[in-house]
């Protein structure tokens, strides 16, 4: 075992810096986000003032090095912050999750020094990023994308449509995957940095969603968008590697979002069952209710251990593909289970918008779908354990 591994804290033991950021994110969520949750959910729109506060808090560039005006933090710091923000509002949690675990990490891992110097300070201090992979015919089969990029002198001309793009309304920097050589299949896929305002690029339909409603999810249109060659992220034809490696990290971020929802569901259930009285006593005094609460707490702890373990392995340079898939798969199951159980415990009150648990249930469902469906995670896990056996 290496010296670095010996220095890593146990899964659920946070370093002082991690604890400080977690507490700061929690306080920010309670004071600034919580009063606006219902309004944002109803309006299906993030509060613009909150976006500015996220940058002021340093929550949009946690892992970006200080030389690029970022926080110089760790992946685990991003994970605990996402968890705490999502505990109050998963819509806002995924807003910062996409920025940190997908967009920023893609630039950090694949950007040239010139690209990093140009874009990372913007992402750390003022500009929202979006990750643009999915299309109508390429969801789980992500590399079946049809968005094209044709070389034209010192640029590439992009044409196509992207769907389900998180942060599209708020973003100024878009990481768009397009194919420069369709005959080469996935080996022609390349990652391009598209900036808001480029001619031919537009934000189209905004989806009216079941959950995480304040998070914008939109269609993007690219019509002869001229992207300079210096805006290629990584190598031409290596976009599939950018996508695979970034999504592996992003799945841990989704796991953090899901355990945030699960924690909120448990917290609300504990508080309500102690206050709600039936037959002359709190319903928390009934053994049947206690067993439900105990199951909720146990499932949450297991999910958190999986998420934190995957994050620690990623941080420590260990292979973490299986662990990330397990974390995303199980945490999304737990978030849906716990939010549903919370509604059961609240009874009729759980079904109305006056109480928060119906929103937790709506928000949890997306965990089984985006950044790799549950079936895709199970397929990944199965392939690895069969290979290891």
The predicted model gives 243-272 an average pLDDT of 97
What does the DSSP 8-state code read for residue 37?
A: H
Q: Is the pLDDT of residue 1 over 50?
A: no
The predicted model gives 70-90 an average pLDDT of 98
Exposed/middle/buried for 352, CB within 10 Å: 0-12, 13-18, 19+? exposed
What span, in angstroms and rounded, lies between the C-alpha atoms of 293 and 211?
A: 24
Mean pLDDT of the chain: 96
What's the pLDDT at 6? 42
Residue 22 token pair: 């977690």
**Structure confidence by residue, pLDDT tens digits, 137-181:** 998 998 899 999 999 999 999 999 999 999 999 999 999 999 999
What span, in angstroms and rounded, lies between the C-alpha atoms of 281 and 371?
A: 45
Give residue 10's pLDDT band: very low, low, confident or very high (50, 70, 90). Answer: low
What is 228-279 written as a DSSP string? EGGGEESSTT-HHHHHHHHHHHHHHHHHHHHHHHHHHHHHHHHHHHHH-EET
Cα-to-chain-centroid distance, residue 4 = 27
Cα-to-chain-centroid distance, residue 139 = 17
What's the pLDDT at 4? 38
The predicted model gives 76-102 an average pLDDT of 98
Task: Please give the domain boundaries of the chain with CATH numbers for all domains.
Answer: 3-128 (1.10.540.10), 131-237 (2.40.110.10), 240-388 (1.20.140.10)
What's the pLDDT at 11? 64
The predicted model gives 105-111 an average pLDDT of 97
What's the pLDDT at 5? 41
**Structure confidence by residue, pLDDT tens digits, 269-320:** 999 999 999 999 999 999 999 999 999 999 999 999 999 999 999 999 999 9
Residue 355 token pair: 């109480």
Residues with catalytic roles = 371
Q: Please tell me the pTM assigned to this model.
A: 0.96
Cα distances (angstroms) measured from residue 248 to each of 18, 35, 137, 322? 22, 33, 21, 9
Q: Is the pLDDT of residue 9 over 80?
A: no
Cα distances (angstroms) measured from residue 358 to each of 64, 198, 261, 346? 36, 40, 11, 10
**Structure confidence by residue, pLDDT tens digits, 184-203:** 999 999 999 999 999 999 99
Contact call for residues 84 and 29 (beta carbons, < 8 A): yes
Cα-to-chain-centroid distance, residue 329 = 14
Q: What share of the chain is helix, strand, coil (3-state, %, to 5)?
A: 60, 15, 25
What span, in angstroms and rounded, lies between the C-alpha atoms of 148 and 231?
A: 15
What does the DSSP 8-state code read for residue 352?
A: S
Residue 276 token pair: 């709600």
Q: Helix, strand, or coil here: 181?
A: coil
Kindly give the pairing relationship between strand 201-206 and strand 189-195. unpaired
């Amino acid at each position: 075992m290496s010296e670095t591994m010996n220095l890593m804290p146990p899964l659920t033991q946070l370093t002082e810096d991690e604890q400080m950021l977690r507490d700061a994110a929690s306080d920010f969520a309670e004071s600034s986000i919580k009063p606006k949750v219902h309004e944002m959910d109803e309006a299906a729109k993030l509060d613009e003032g909150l976006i500015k506060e996220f940058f002021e808090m340093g929550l949009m560039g946690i892992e970006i090095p200080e030389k690029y005006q970022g926080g110089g933090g760790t992946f685990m710091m991003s994970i605990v912050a996402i968890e705490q923000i999502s505990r109050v509002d998963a819509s806002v949690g995924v807003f910062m999750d996409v920025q940190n675990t997908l967009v920023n990490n893609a630039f950090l891992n694949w950007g040239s020094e010139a690209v990093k110097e140009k874009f990372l300070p913007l992402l750390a201090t003022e500009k929202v990023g979006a990750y643009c992979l999915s299309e109508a015919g390429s969801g789980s089969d992500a590399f079946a994308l049809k968005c094209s990029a044709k070389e034209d002198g010192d640029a590439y001309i992009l044409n196509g449509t992207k769907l389900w793009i998180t942060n599209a309304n708020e973003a100024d920097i878009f990481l768009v995957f397009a194919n420069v050589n369709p005959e080469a299949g996935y080996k022609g896929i390349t990652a391009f940095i598209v900036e808001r305002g480029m001619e031919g690029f537009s934000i189209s339909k905004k989806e009216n969603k079941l959950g995480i409603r304040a998070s914008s999810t939109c269609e993007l249109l690219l019509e002869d968008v001229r992207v300079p060659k210096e805006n290629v992220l990584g190598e031409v034809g290596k976009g599939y590697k950018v996508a695979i490696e970034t999504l592996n990290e992003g799945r841990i971020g989704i796991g953090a979002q899901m355990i945030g929802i699960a924690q909120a569901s448990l917290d609300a259930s504990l508080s309500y069952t102690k206050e709600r009285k039936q037959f002359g006593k709190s319903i928390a005094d009934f053994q049947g209710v206690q067993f439900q609460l105990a199951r909720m707490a146990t499932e949450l702890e297991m999910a958190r251990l999986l998420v934190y373990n995957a994050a620690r392995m990623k941080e420590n340079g260990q292979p973490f593909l299986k662990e990330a898939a397990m974390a995303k798969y199980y945490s999304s199951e737990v978030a849906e289970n716990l939010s549903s159980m919370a509604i059961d415990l609240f009874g009729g009150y759980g079904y109305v918008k006056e109480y928060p648990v119906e929103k937790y249930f709506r928000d949890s469902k997306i965990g089984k779908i985006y950044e790799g469906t549950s079936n895709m995670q199970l397929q990944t896990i199965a392939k690895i354990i069969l290979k290891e056996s």
